[in-house]
Amino acid sequence: MRYFIRLAYNGASFHGWQIQPDDCSVQETLEQALSMVLRQEIALTGAGRTDAGVNAAMMVAHFDVDAEISNPDGLVHSLNGILPKDIAVYSVFMVHDDAHARFDATSRTYKYFTHSSKSPFLYPLSWHCPPTLDFDLMNQAAARLSDYVDFTSFSKLHTDVKTNNCRIYEAHWDKVGEQRVFTITADRFLRNMVRAIVGTLVEVGRHKISVDEFCNIIEKKNRCAAGMSMPGNALFLWNITYPYPIK
């Protein structure tokens, strides 16, 4: 029987979602907790892979068990009792046997948080940006992302993906209280893609490159042409959508 699990985590203590040799990952930590509570070996398949230090306000994964879980809410309570404080499980629920946390997802949304005034409360989960960044110009450049499908220029080099094509549905900066937040939604993302996009948009905001030059970087399909990769601590996997309800 197959179940989906919905959770969130602060990525600061983890070397990303996916299991890594000799490094602590969210996937491994959660698998160990599930295996302990359910008393059988549990393997998780996540909706995606967040890099080291990246956070998730919403992550979805699936796992299979031999028999129906009689009390899913009780399982959630037990998991939260033994998991570290930087991982929170919100729900566990049965799905059909063919449901797939990764392949069934229709879109994913990431948010990147920035602040321009020094703050002892925002800095662990937000990037302290220069106060002179031109966010209007950065929004003009972000709006051009939906004109393209090949984002090789924003992909980590030497990955094992078959295509660097993605469909971007939205990309924009918004003022939220003291912060400026970049929101981007696509059908899929490449490794390091969001942090590379934000880093290149920052170059636009600093007036180091124009909007047209930003587009030329995309068209070059060369990671070396794009800007720096931004710190992962300010990046959140924010939402994942499916063609069926997610509790």
Distances 236 to 92, 109, 172, 175 between C-alpha atoms, Å: 21, 9, 15, 17
Q: Which of 51, 136, 150, 212 is catalytic?
A: 51
CA gap 86, 7 in Å, rounded: 11
CA gap 190, 136 in Å, rounded: 26
SS3 of the chain: the string is CEEEEEEEECHHHCCCCCCECCECCHHHHHHHHHHHHHCCCCCCEECCCCCCCCEEEEEEEEEECCCCCCCHHHHHHHHHHHCCCCEEEEEEEEECCCCCCCCCCCEEEEEEEEECCCCCCCHHHCEECCCCCCHHHHHHHHHHHHHCCECHHHCCCCCCCCCCECCEEEEEEEEECCEEEEEEEECCCCCCHHHHHHHHHHHHHCCCCCHHHHHHHHHHCCHHHCCCCCCHHHEEEEEEECCCCCC
Is residue 147 flagged as an active site residue? no
List the catalytic residues: 51
